[in-house]
Amino acid sequence: MNFSIEQKDLASLTNLVYRAASNKNAIPVLAGLLLSVDPESGLTITATDMEIGMRVSAKNVDVTEPGSVLVNALYFHNFIKSLPAMRINLQYDKETAKLNVIYGRSTGFINTYRDFEYPNLPIDKMEDRITIPQAVLKEALKKTAFAAAVTHFRQVFTGILFDVKSNGELKVVASDTHRLAYFSYEMEQAISEDTKFIIPQRTANEILRVLDESDEPFKIAFNENNVVFYREGFLLMSRLIEGQYPVYEQVIPQSFSTFINIKTSTLGEILERARTMPGDDSLKMQYIQLTVANNELRINAYSELMGELDERVEEVDIEGEQDQKISFNTNYFLDAVRVMQTESEDIQLKLSGTLGPAMIQNPANEKYIYILVPLRTSN
Amino acid sequence: MNYFDEIRGQERAVTLLQNSIKNDNVSHAYVFLGPSGVGKMLTARAFACALLERDDEQAAIYFKDGIHPDLLIIEKPENKTTILKEQISQGMEPWLALKPYRAGKRVVIIRDAHLMRAEAGNALLKTLEEPPLYAVIILLSDEQNLLETIMSRCQPVRFFPLTEPVIEEMLTGRGIEPEIAVRAARLAQGSFGDALGFASGGEIPHAYEIAGEILLALAGGEMISVFDAAEKMEVNPELITGMLETMLRDLVIYKHSGRADSLVLPDNLQLVQALQDQVDPAKLRRALQQLDELRRNYRRHVNALIISTNISYTLWEALQ
């Protein structure tokens, strides 16, 4: 094997994949990156552990001799990353089983795995593709993935649901049962039948790392057990989570009693301040209480240990029923506000009674909904 | 590759499992029941490999290192005496919720399932009641102490003590001297695991010497010698108890038959002759039974010295 490539191109490729290699040393080859070059397809790098698999490729290489080697992912990535920005040449020496790296007048070498057997990514028999612009996929995951549970006895809540309707509606949903984030999008194409699948949170986070704001199409294919997200030069394979996702539509309230419009930045600041109040013994979480009365909104955070915060919100617009008290988990509320901060000056909060779920929305965008279940507090 | 080739003396279990794969009639849960050290784990691994290999042509790459993305082995943590509830609810459950990565099934092996307490058992029950279609859960149990509700949801597969010739052959196959292999096989009472432990530890001659000394001391001693004996047993309580048991048995047999060739261990002859005038076979038989029950406690969470004291006392009493 012998090929040349720009250092920054190679470094950005290894940066994408090296994390998919296993960092546990149970199976030595899984700690490796498989580099393959071939004059037609260029350079392909594959990494997989027991959970996910990634493959990236680049055409801008000069291949003198095709072949493939397996190198330790972490060392290779760190080494390539640290090289000067210039065209580098990589040559495999069969006799010594070393990969020589030549940069300018200097050289280095990396030991490789001899006579290795590397598992293929099990991506045959994939079908049912859907295509969405990269920026949309990024938005969908960024706005929902955080709402999934880290651990939950119902495992489906640790994942993110992709609910694809045959008419081309795509809904991306995540919930930990205390809150629910919902993103919808109309795809340009219809698909043959309604489909649902649930991806693990780690998969969502790994994809988020590679997505950018472009409109370049990203494709999703899946089979019974696995899902593949791919675009030209990039592929990520992940397992799916087994189980029936609850009917989330039922959780989204259809009517509300009170509508509150607030400046996103104002609300964000108040919640950040409220977060300094620690949770108390009875309710082991930080919470705020909203009081709506006389066309005014008060936000109160109380901690027996620390003190109290009592804010009167300026520039607030209230419609519907007054005289309501309702409590929310401060952090869950803030998560939603942070999402809104990037896109809207105003935030709309819709309440349906003291114990009914509340909805948080950008008033100008109905594609994204955040449902927050209030807390039962003693006062 | 036939992963079942290495298993000896468990033809019934192996045939049953092989047929279930052949006829595509694999159950979602099994209990492998039988004494320790007779091949339950080996069989479970073989079964898992055979199942996973059906859909993953490259499974062998993983098996070489004893793992596979679709195989989970749950063992008691080293510093604990039970299998913890968390290992089931936080280890197995989320793992099983992920669909198979490469194979068509996901296999969980729970080793020493008899060490599960009720909480862990109940956590497991939740999965056993509604397992995902691709799940195959194999419980390995040395004792029949699993919850009734667990047993009723699993297909039982019985494992039997191995015969002495099989153990001997397996030991010599591992390069152990035939002479030691014979003795270890006799003492292990059907468990290859124990036999291997006895044989490879190189402790047999030493332990045998101690067992002989203990017996003679107890036969001629005051009650206080019981504590001495128990302390001597600390070297390797299970092995020494096993030896004491064979000695008692030989005593009974020799007393009845007077024939040296019917002894379990030929080396016992001298000892047996020395003691035979003062033994009462009925008392010894009762002691043997008690011994068998007492020695099981070594595998439970009981202080070994207390068990050894009990065993010594039983012997002392039987020899008066």
Query: Mean per-residue pLDDT for B227-256?
Result: 85
User: Are the C-beta atoms of residues A128 and A222 closer than 8 Å to each other?
Assistant: yes
Residues of B in contact with A29 (CB under 8 A): 61
Q: Classify residue A248 by burial, with Cβ atoms within 10 Å: 0-12, 13-18, 19+.
A: middle
Element (H, E) at A208: helix A201-210
The answer, yes or no, to whether residue B103 has pLDDT greater than 90, is no
* Per-residue model confidence (pLDDT) at position A193: 85
Among A21-30, A315-324, B273-282, which range has the highest average pLDDT? A315-324
Of all residues in chain B, the one with the smallest CA distance to A243 is B97
Query: Mean per-residue pLDDT for B150-161?
Result: 94
Backbone dihedral region for residue A190 (phi beyond 0: left; psi -120 to 50: alpha; all else: beta): beta
* Subunit contact B61:A27, Cβ cutoff 8 A: yes
Residues of B in contact with A224 (CB under 8 A): 99
Least confident of B121-130, B207-216, B265-274: B265-274
Using DSSP, state whether A295 is helix, strand or coil: coil
DSSP state string for A62-120:
EEEE-EEEEEEHHHHHHHHHHS-SSEEEEEEETTTTEEEEEETTEEEEEEB-TT---PP
* Per-residue model confidence (pLDDT) at position A354: 85
Using DSSP, state whether A28 is helix, strand or coil: helix
Of all residues in chain B, the one with the smallest CA distance to A226 is B101
Mean pLDDT of chain B: 87
Portion of chain A with pLDDT greater than 90, in percent: 61
* Per-residue model confidence (pLDDT) at position A314: 83
Enter the pTM of the model.
0.81
The answer, yes or no, to whether residue A196 has pLDDT greater than 70, is yes
Q: How far is CA A72 from CA A34, A47, A69, in A?
A: 9, 10, 10
Portion of chain A with pLDDT greater than 70, in percent: 98
* Per-residue model confidence (pLDDT) at position B36: 86
In B, residues 116-175, which contact A (CB 8 Å cutoff)? 132, 134
The answer, yes or no, to whether residue A339 has pLDDT greater than 70, is yes
* Subunit contact A240:B98, Cβ cutoff 8 A: yes
What span, in angstroms and rounded, lies between the C-alpha atoms of A81 and A11? 5
B193 close to A (CB below 8 A): no
A200 vs B65, B89, B98: nearest CB: B98
Sheet holding B155-158, edge to edge: B71-74, B106-110, B135-141, B29-33, B155-158
Residues of B in contact with A200 (CB under 8 A): 98
What span, in angstroms and rounded, lies between the C-alpha atoms of A70 and A91? 13
User: Are the C-beta atoms of residues A41 and A53 closer than 8 Å to each other?
Assistant: no
Q: What is chain A's Cα-based Rg? A: 25
Q: How far is A323 from chain B (nearest CA, A)?
A: 44
What span, in angstroms and rounded, lies between the C-alpha atoms of B207 and A370? 71
The answer, yes or no, to whether residue B243 has pLDDT greater than 90, is no
A/B interface, count of CB pairs below 8 Å: 60
* Per-residue model confidence (pLDDT) at position A34: 94
The answer, yes or no, to whether residue A25 has pLDDT greater than 70, is no
**Which is nearest to B267 in space by CA: B180, B178, B164?**
B180
Using DSSP, state whether A61 is helix, strand or coil: coil
User: Are the C-beta atoms of residues A137 and A204 closer than 8 Å to each other?
Assistant: no
* Subunit contact B102:A122, Cβ cutoff 8 A: yes
**Which is nearest to B99 in space by CA: A22, A148, A155, A208?**
A155
Domains, chain A, with CATH or none: 2-111 (3.10.150.10), 128-249 (3.10.150.10), 253-372 (3.10.150.10)
Neighbours of A85 (CB within 10 A): 10
List CB contacts of B42: < 8 A, sequence separation 6 or more.
B6, B7
Q: Classify residue A68 by burial, with Cβ atoms within 10 Å: 0-12, 13-18, 19+.
A: middle
* Subunit contact B65:A27, Cβ cutoff 8 A: yes
Query: Mean per-residue pLDDT for A253-269?
Result: 93
**Which is nearest to B68 in space by CA: B60, B76, B77?**
B60
Query: Mean per-residue pLDDT for B268-288?
Result: 82
User: Are the C-beta atoms of residues A357 and A323 closer than 8 Å to each other?
Assistant: no
The answer, yes or no, to whether residue B231 has pLDDT greater than 60, is yes
Give the helix ranges, DSSP H, for B4-153. 11-22, 40-53, 59-63, 85-86, 93-97, 118-129, 148-151
What span, in angstroms and rounded, lies between the C-alpha atoms of A119 and A20? 14
Q: How far is CA A16 from CA A7, A9, A355, B79, B156, in A?
A: 14, 11, 45, 39, 48
The answer, yes or no, to whether residue B217 has pLDDT greater than 80, is yes
Q: What is the pLDDT of residues A68-106, one digit of tens each?
A: 999 999 999 999 999 999 999 999 998 888 999 999 999
Query: Mean per-residue pLDDT for B265-286?
Result: 80
The answer, yes or no, to whether residue A379 has pLDDT greater than 70, is no
* Per-residue model confidence (pLDDT) at position A305: 80
What span, in angstroms and rounded, lies between the C-alpha atoms of A44 and B247? 69
Residues of B in contact with A117 (CB under 8 A): 58, 61
Residues of B in contact with A242 (CB under 8 A): 96-99, 132, 134
A320 close to B (CB below 8 A): no
In B, residues 27-86, which contact A (CB 8 Å cutoff)? 56, 58, 61-62, 65, 67, 69
What span, in angstroms and rounded, lies between the C-alpha atoms of B295 and B191? 15
B296 close to A (CB below 8 A): no
What span, in angstroms and rounded, lies between the C-alpha atoms of B59 and B53? 6
The answer, yes or no, to whether residue B1 has pLDDT greater than 70, is no
* Per-residue model confidence (pLDDT) at position A148: 94
Residues of A in contact with B134 (CB under 8 A): 225, 242
Burial B77-111 (b: 16+ CB within 10 A, else e): eeeeebbbbebbbeebbbebbbbbbbbebbbbbbb
Question: Cα-flanking dihedrals φ and ψ of residue A304, to 5°?
Answer: -60, -35
Sheet holding A287-293, edge to edge: A307-312, A296-303, A287-293, A324-329
Q: How far is A377 from chain B (nearest CA, A)?
A: 30
What span, in angstroms and rounded, lies between the C-alpha atoms of A226 and A229? 10
* Subunit contact A50:B69, Cβ cutoff 8 A: yes
In A, residues 29-88, which contact B (CB 8 Å cutoff)? 29, 50-51
Residues of A in contact with B61 (CB under 8 A): 27, 29, 117-119
What span, in angstroms and rounded, lies between the C-alpha atoms of A268 and B233? 71
Domains, chain B, with CATH or none: 3-158 (3.40.50.300), 203-318 (1.20.272)
Residues of B in contact with A28 (CB under 8 A): 65
In A, residues 118-137, which contact B (CB 8 Å cutoff)? 118-120, 122
